[in-house]
Amino acid sequence: MDITTKNTEAPPPAPQPTVAEQKRAARGATRPGDRIFLGLSRGSGILLLVIMAAIAGFLAYRASIAISKDDANFLTAFEWNTGLLPPKFGIAVLAFGTVVSSIIAMVIAVPIAVAIALFLTHYAPRRLRGPIAYVIDLLAAVPSIVYGLWGALILVPHMTGLFGWLDEYLGWTGIFSWQAGAPRSMLTVGILLAIMILPIITNVSREVFRQAPQMIEEAALALGATRWEVIRMAVLPFGRSGVISASMLGLGRALGETMAVATVLSPSFTIQTSLLDPGGGTFAQNIASKFSEASELGRDALIASGLVLFVITLLVNGAARMIIARRKEYSGANA
Amino acid sequence: MSTAVADKRPSSTLRGASLPKWSPYAIAVGSVAVAAGIGLAAGLDSRIQWGLIAAILFVLGTYVISARVEGRRQAKDRVATSLVWVAFLLALLPLVSLVWTTVSRGVKVLDVYFLTHSMGLISDTEPGGGIYHAIIGSLEQVGLATVIAAPIGVLTAIYLVEYGRGNLARSVTFFVDVMTGIPSIVAGLFILSIMLMFDMQPFGFAGSLALAILMMPVVVRSTEEMLKLVPNELREASLALGVPKWRTILKVVLPTSIGGITTGIMLAVARIAGETAPVLLLVWGNSLINSNPFEGAQQSLPLYIYQQYQNSQGSGAAYDRAWAAALTLIAFVMILNLVARGIARWKAPKTGR
pLDDT of residue A332: 32
| Reported confidence tier of residue A207, pLDDT bands at 50, 70, 90 | confident
User: Are A142 and B333 inside 8 Å of each other by CB?
Assistant: yes
Chain A contact for B74, CB < 8 A? yes
Q: What is the mean pLDDT of chain B?
A: 86
Residue A112 has pLDDT above 90, yes or no: yes
Q: Over the stretch B107-143, which tens digit does the pLDDT of each residue have? A: 988 899 999 988 888 877 788 888 999 999 999 999 9
Q: Does the distance separating the beta carbons of B245 and A37 come in below 8 Å? A: yes
End-to-end, the C-alpha distance of chain B in Å comes to 48
Question: Is a pLDDT exceeding 90 seen at residue B21?
Answer: no
CB atoms within 10 A of CB A261: 32
Contacts of A155 (CB under 8 A, 6+ apart): A188, A191, A192, A264, B94
In this structure, chain B runs to a length of 353
Among candidates A34, A291, A321 on the partner chain, residue whose Cβ is nearest the Cβ of B178: A321
The tens digit of pLDDT for each residue in B41-54 reads 877 666 777 888 88
* Three-state helix/strand/coil letters over chain B: CCCCCCCCCCCCCCCCCCCCCCHHHHHHHHHHHHHHHHHHHHCCCCHHHHHHHHHHHHHHHHHHHHHHHHCHHHHHHHHHHHHHHHHHHHHHHHHHHHHHHHHHHHCCCCCHHHHHCCCCCCCCCCCCCCCHHHHHHHHHHHHHHHHHHHHHHHHHHHHHHHHCCHHHHHHHHHHHHHHHCCCHHHHHHHHHHHHHHCCCCCCHHHHHHHHHHHHHHHHHHHHHHHHHHCCHHHHHHHHHCCCCHHHHHHHHHHHHHHHHHHHHHHHHHHHHHCCCHHHHHHCECCCCCCCCCCCCCECCHHHHHHHHHHHHCCCCHHHHHHHHHHHHHHHHHHHHHHHHHHHHHHCCCCCCC
- Using an 8 Å CB-CB cutoff, list chain A residues near B280: 288, 291
pLDDT of residue A335: 31
pLDDT confidence of residue B5? 46
pLDDT in tens, B279-335: 999 998 888 888 899 988 999 999 999 999 988 877 788 899 999 999 999 999 999
Contact A283, A91 (CB under 8 A): yes
Regarding pTM above 0.90, the answer is no
CA–CA separation, A305 and A289 (whole Å): 13
pLDDT for B16 beyond 70: no
CB < 8 Å to B326, chain A: 143, 145-146, 149
Query: How much of chain B exceeds pLDDT 90, in percent?
Result: 43
pLDDT at B75: 87
Looking at the partner chain, which of A31, A134, A150 has a beta carbon nearest the beta carbon of B98?
Answer: A150
* B3 close contact with A: CB closer than 8 A: no
What is the rounded distance in angstroms from the CA atom of residue B90 to the CA atom of residue B59?
14
Residue A185's DSSP bridge partners are A278
Residue B313 CA to residue B112 CA, distance in Å, equals 26
- Quick: pLDDT tens for B191-235: 999 998 888 889 999 999 999 999 999 999 999 988 988 899 999
Provide mean pLDDT across the span A167-194: 88
Average pLDDT over residues B262-284: 91
Query: What pLDDT score was predicted for residue A19?
Result: 54
- pLDDT bucket at B10, cuts 50 / 70 / 90: very low
Residues 172..201 of A with a Cβ closer than 8 Å to B: which? 195, 198
pLDDT for res B272? 92
Mean pLDDT confidence for A31-44 = 90
Q: Work out the burial of residue B329: count CB atoms within 10 Å of its CB; fewer than 13 is exposed, 13-18 middle, 19 or more buried.
A: buried
Q: What is the ipTM of this complex?
A: 0.88
Separation of alpha carbons B221 and B154, rounded Å: 9
CB contact under 8 A, A146 and B330: yes
Asked if A31 has any chain B CB less than 8 Å from its own CB, the reply is yes
Contact (CB<8Å) A51/B276: no
* Per-residue pLDDT reduced to its tens digit, B94-109: 888 999 999 999 998 8
Task: Assess B8–A contact: CB distance below 8 Å, yes or no.
Answer: no
- Residue numbers of B between 216 and 275 with CB closer than 8 Å to A: 216-217, 220, 227-232, 239, 244-247, 249-250, 267, 270-271, 273-275
Per DSSP, the three-state class of A278 is strand
Number of Cβ within a 10 Å radius of residue A179:
11
User: What are the angstrom distances between the C-alpha of A184 and each of A264, A268, B212, B241?
Assistant: 6, 11, 33, 67
pLDDT band at A174 (very low <50, low <70, confident <90, very high): confident
* C-alpha distances out from residue B92 to A132, A195, A197, Å: 10, 10, 14
Q: Which residue has the higher pLDDT, B256 or A20?
A: B256
pLDDT tens by residue, B75-88: 888 889 888 988 88
In chain A, whose CA is at the least distance from the CA of B226?
A332
pLDDT for res A20: 55
Q: Name every chain A residue with its beta carbon within 8 A of the beta carbon of B147.
A: none
